[in-house]
Structure 1
Amino acid sequence: MNLNDVSLFIRIVETGSFTSAAESLGIQKSTISRRIAQLEDDLGVRLLQRTTRKLKLTDDGEELFSRCQPLINELETARDQLSATQEDPRGRLRITMPSELGVFMMNDVVSTFMQRYPKINLEVELSTRLVDLIEEGVDLAIRVGELADSSLIARRVAHVSRALYASPDYLKRMGTPKTPDDLEKYECFGQLKAHEYWEFEGWPTAVEVKGHLKVNSIAFAKEMVMQGHGIARLPRVYCRNCVQAGELVEILTDYKCPLIEINAIYPSRRHLNPKVRLFIDHMMEMIVDHPWVTEMMITPASELPGQSPETTLEHH
């Protein structure tokens, strides 16, 4: 029995299909099919029932998976740890993060990480889509905002301050809101969701955002605000220069928006990949020196309120 073939079998079961396993491993689907067939021949049993719609484990497949998954995970962990203890760690590291965070903040982090660890091959996806880390074989996600419940590990790395912004022209035409409730009379740009509510410190109720535009990009929202189309809630660090240049105005300054979190997320189904640890440690080191840090609260792992440095987000 070839352990590499067993590892492929484990990945297929974890991802749910030959196609997903092939994509996560970067190999041909036909190669996986051939090697699983060889594994079944070596064992003399059928492991998977294949249909056009889904895969189903046989009883023998269930037995092999339950016995071998922990062992394969331990072997992979040992391999990664040995790699990380070398003077120049190597291997692949897959990361996903929002586009704006990647372009405007994490670019320096990735660049200096590549210089420090030239033998680690990085695959970075800049996307707003919610990537399934386990199914797609992604090692680390950097996410902004509230986290959905999931069987993942989260490390909070920073809080970002936000505020409401409008252009001088828009405020001249429409007037300046005095309280959060006044926002109901204005065009407010929300996210791509059916209903969105903005909360404010010192204000008893959340305000439902209503407007003719919903976006999933703070860069696009900022551009629409600067062109005088309405009001958006944006990170202060992203708008500071425009405010200083008189292109944007911060409004409702007496009512602060809640801080938004930046979290590092990684799968909890196995021990932490040491390359992920290297990247997170490097990221924390670089963020401290980032020009935006004056308006961002960095959260050292030892100072996270009410949680350990790494928190498991379990299904409820």
Structure 2
Amino acid sequence: MELLNDMALFVEVVKAKGFRGASEATGVPNSTLSRRIGALEKAIGLRLLHRTTRKVELTEAGQIYFERCKRIVDEARLAHEQLGDLLAQPSGVLRASLPVDFTVIYLAPLIAEFAERYPGISFEFDLTPRQVDLISEPFDVAIRMGEPSNSNLIARPLVSLVPRLYAAPRYLKRMGEPEKPADLKRHECLNVQKGGIWTLRKNAQSVQLSIGSRFTINNVGLIRRMATLGMGIMLMPEEVVAEDVAAKRLVRVLPDWHGKPMPVYALTETRLLPAKTQRFIEFLKERLAQA
């Protein structure tokens, strides 16, 4: 790379017919230009320039070397411009594993916006609940909620979601509305784990509750649906239930309290990402931060 830079400086000196003009064109000081060209001559074992007090002239060897350098430098600049275009408009198939309900409810509009911005990218999405193996399976990225379990993967934080308590108005009319966290022990609490523990926070306060339910459900969408049907209270990020809250199918319970923040990560197998994957992760991080 340093040799290519010196070749580019040599071309500028020749085109400007002197170090002063080349210095003005490149912003590199005269003394530095002279030293770099001298080092280039020493490296290739040829005298390239005749130096006088007023101007520089090419030697015979310098003329031949100049033509070759100019071609190499022009090709390098063209390649750099093409690479810039490729990065600006990445293409190819983006294969991603995504959380089902968070994607359908919340990410879908962002994905549509991303697809419009980058028409050269096509998409293959896996929305099954299983944890795909990014090392052995052909996925570019996996979006996951919660702390990553595989330390061999590269985890890039996207956003942190705050779970809050929600229930259907019909449930609260039937069972009454809890006034403090301890009241949840006498309520149906919809949870993804059997015999789960809920950690609730209010400013500096924090309480842990062992909640019980007739339902143990391993699908966020079904928990959400059962809550709208009046079957219990759930702890869920507001981004997932925004539509139900807007439609008044769900209302906040214990509004001063919230659950432990849930991080969302983009997981990749390597730090060296193709442009399509890099742009997708950057886009999600930017847009989720604005939400």
TM-score range relative to shorter protein = 0.5 to 0.7
CA distance in 2, matches of 1:115, 1:244: 27
Residues 110, 145 of structure 1: CA spacing in aligned structure 2 closer, same or farther, 3 A cutoff?
same
- Kept in 1, the 8 Å contact 2:106–2:239? The answer is no
Residues 280, 103 of structure 1: CA spacing in aligned structure 2 closer, same or farther, 3 A cutoff?
same
For structure 1, list consecutive stretches of 5 or more residues without a partner in the other structure: 1-80, 294-316
Q: Give the 3-state SS of the residue equivalent to 2:223 in structure 1.
A: helix
CA distance in 1, matches of 2:243, 2:135: 39
- Kept in 2, the 8 Å contact 1:83–1:89? The answer is no
Which residue number in structure 1 is paired with residue 181 of structure 2? 180
AA of the residue aligned to 2:190: F
| Per-residue deviation, residues 22-52 of structure 1 (Å, max 9, x unmatched) | xxxxxxxxxxxxxxxxxxxxxxxxxxxxxxx
Residues 229, 235 of structure 1: CA spacing in aligned structure 2 closer, same or farther, 3 A cutoff?
same
AA of the residue aligned to 2:117: R
Which residue number in structure 1 is paired with residue 266 of structure 2? 264
**RMSD of aligned residue pairs (Cα, Å):** 2.6
CA distance in 1, matches of 2:190, 2:273: 38
- Kept in 2, the 8 Å contact 1:84–1:274? The answer is no
TM, length-normalised to structure 2: 0.63
Which residue number in structure 2 is paired with residue 8 of structure 1? none
CA distance in 1, matches of 2:246, 2:92: 44
| Per-residue deviation, residues 168-193 of structure 1 (Å, max 9, x unmatched) | 222222222222222222111111x3
**Which moved further from structure 2: 272-281 or 133-142?**
272-281
Offset at 1:163?
A: 0.9
Q: How does 1:111-150 map to 2 (within 5 A)?
A: 111-150=112-151
Which residue number in structure 2 is paired with residue 198 of structure 1? 198
1:168 aligned to 2:169? yes
AA of the residue aligned to 2:196: E
Which residue number in structure 2 is paired with residue 97 of structure 1? 98
- Kept in 1, the 8 Å contact 2:158–2:288? The answer is no
TM, length-normalised to structure 1: 0.58
Which residue number in structure 1 is paired with residue 253 of structure 2? 251
Q: How does 1:202-213 map to 2 (within 5 A)?
A: 202=202, 203-213=205-215
Offset at 1:88?
A: 3.9
- Kept in 1, the 8 Å contact 2:185–2:211? The answer is yes
Residues 112, 199 of structure 1: CA spacing in aligned structure 2 closer, same or farther, 3 A cutoff?
same
AA of the residue aligned to 1:228: G
Residues 265, 251 of structure 1: CA spacing in aligned structure 2 closer, same or farther, 3 A cutoff?
same
- Kept in 2, the 8 Å contact 1:84–1:90? The answer is no
**Number of equivalences:** 208
CA distance in 2, matches of 1:213, 1:271: 43
AA of the residue aligned to 1:110: I
Q: Give the 3-state SS of the residue equivalent to 1:131 in structure 2.
A: coil
AA of the residue aligned to 1:124: F
CA distance in 1, matches of 2:167, 2:87: 52
- Kept in 1, the 8 Å contact 2:87–2:275? The answer is no
Q: Give the 3-state SS of the residue equivalent to 1:201 in structure 2.
A: strand
Larger radius of gyration: 2
Q: Give the 3-state SS of the residue equivalent to 1:223 in structure 2.
A: helix
AA of the residue aligned to 2:220: I
| Per-residue deviation, residues 150-170 of structure 1 (Å, max 9, x unmatched) | 211111111222211112222
- Kept in 1, the 8 Å contact 2:161–2:264? The answer is yes
Offset at 1:108?
A: 2.7
CA distance in 1, matches of 2:269, 2:227: 37
Q: Give the 3-state SS of the residue equivalent to 2:258 in structure 1.
A: coil
For structure 2, list consecutive stretches of 5 or more residues without a partner in the other structure: 1-81
| Per-residue deviation, residues 86-112 of structure 1 (Å, max 9, x unmatched) | 664333321011122222222233223
